[in-house]
C-alpha cells in the first residue's frame, strides 16, 4: 500500500534539515506500526520521500511525504501520529496513493507558491511589480565546491506574483516559483534578488516565508492527484 501525508511545518521545527525530517517521520511511522517497506540490495533504504524538500528556515502548510507500507491502516492513524510528532509538525490529511500513479510525487512537481511577509519595505506593491517587469533578473549563488559566488539568471523561474494585502511599510505577497530538476528557484534567493534590485539590504530584513502550495502540471495543487 502506498500512502501520502500532507503536513505543516512551523515553529522551531523549521530549522531541521530535510534528512532529519525524514528520520523523524521514519521513527514515528515505526512507533505507529506503519513501518515503511525497504528496498532490496546491499544498502536497503525505506521507500519514503518528500515531494519537494523545503529549505531550512521556511514555514509550510502543504508538505507532502509518501511511503510504502505492508501494514494495515486504522481509523486513528493520523491522530496517533500527531500525538507522537513534536510540536511544529502536524499531519493535516492522509491519502491512499492511487495504483495508477506509478512515479513518485516528486516527478510531477512543476512549481511552488510562497507567502512572503516582511516589515520594513516601503511601497512594496510597486517594488514587486517593477521587479517582475524586468526582462532579466540575476541572483547570486554560493558554490560550496569552489567556495565562490556565482550569478544565475532567474527571470524565467519567476512565474507569478500577487499582493495579498497592501500595508504601509510591510510586504505581504505571494510568489510562484519554478521547482523542476535543474530549474528550481529557492525563495530565499528570490527574496535576496528582489532586495538587491529594489535598493534594499536584505541582511537588515527578516522575512517570514511560508510555502502555501506545491503545484503539479497545469498549475494545479499536487495533492489533487491523490484524491
Q: What's the pLDDT tens digit per position in 83-127?
A: 999 999 999 999 999 999 999 999 999 999 999 999 999 999 999
pLDDT given at position 144? 66
Domains detected in the chain: 2-107 (3.30.70.580), 109-219 (3.30.70)
List alpha helices for the chain, DSSP H.
18-31, 77-84, 124-133, 187-197
Mean pLDDT in residue range 131-144:
86
DSSP per-residue string spanning 145-168: TTTEEEEEE-GGGEEEEEES--BT
Assigned C-alpha cell, 65: 511525504
Assigned C-alpha cell, 85: 510528532
How many whole angstroms separate alpha carbon 9 and alpha carbon 128?
A: 27
Dihedral over alpha carbons 177, 214, 85, 90 (to 10 degrees): 100
Max Cα–Cα distance, the chain, nearest Å: 59
Q: pLDDT band at 45, cuts 50/70/90? A: confident
How many whole angstroms separate alpha carbon 136 and alpha carbon 130?
A: 12
Amino acid at each position: 500500500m502506498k500512502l501520502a501525508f500532507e503536513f505543516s511545518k512551523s515553529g522551531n521545527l523549521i530549522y531541521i534539515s530535510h534528512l532529519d525530517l525524514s528520520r523523524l517521520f521514519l521513527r514515528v511511522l515505526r512507533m505507529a506500526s506503519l513501518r515503511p517497506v525497504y528496498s532490496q540490495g546491499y544498502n536497503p533504504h525505506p521507500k519514503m520521500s518528500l515531494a519537494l524538500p523545503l529549505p531550512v528556515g521556511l514555514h509550510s502548510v502543504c508538505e507532502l511525504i509518501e511511503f510504502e507500507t505492508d501494514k494495515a491502516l486504522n481509523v486513528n492513524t493520523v491522530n496517533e501520529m500527531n500525538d507522537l510528532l513534536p510540536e511544529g509538525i502536524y499531519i493535516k490529511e492522509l491519502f491512499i496513493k492511487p495504483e495508477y500513479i506509478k512515479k513518485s510525487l516528486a516527478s510531477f512537481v512543476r512549481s511552488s507558491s510562497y507567502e512572503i511577509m516582511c516589515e520594513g519595505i516601503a511601497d512594496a506593491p510597486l517594488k514587486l511589480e517593477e521587479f517582475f517587469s524586468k526582462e532579466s533578473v540575476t541572483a547570486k549563488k554560493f558554490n560550496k565546491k569552489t567556495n565562490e559566488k556565482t550569478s544565475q539568471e532567474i527571470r524565467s523561474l519567476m512565474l507569478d506574483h500577487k499582493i495579498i494585502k497592501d500595508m504601509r511599510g510591510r510586504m505581504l505577497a505571494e510568489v510562484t516559483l519554478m521547482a523542476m530538476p535543474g530549474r528550481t528557484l529557492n525563495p530565499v534567493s528570490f527574496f535576496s534578488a528582489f532586495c538587491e534590485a529594489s535598493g534594499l539590504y536584505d541582511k537588515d530584513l527578516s522575512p517570514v516565508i511560508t510555502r502555501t502550495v506545491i503545484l503539479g502540471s497545469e498549475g494545479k495543487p499536487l495533492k489533487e492527484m491523490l484524491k
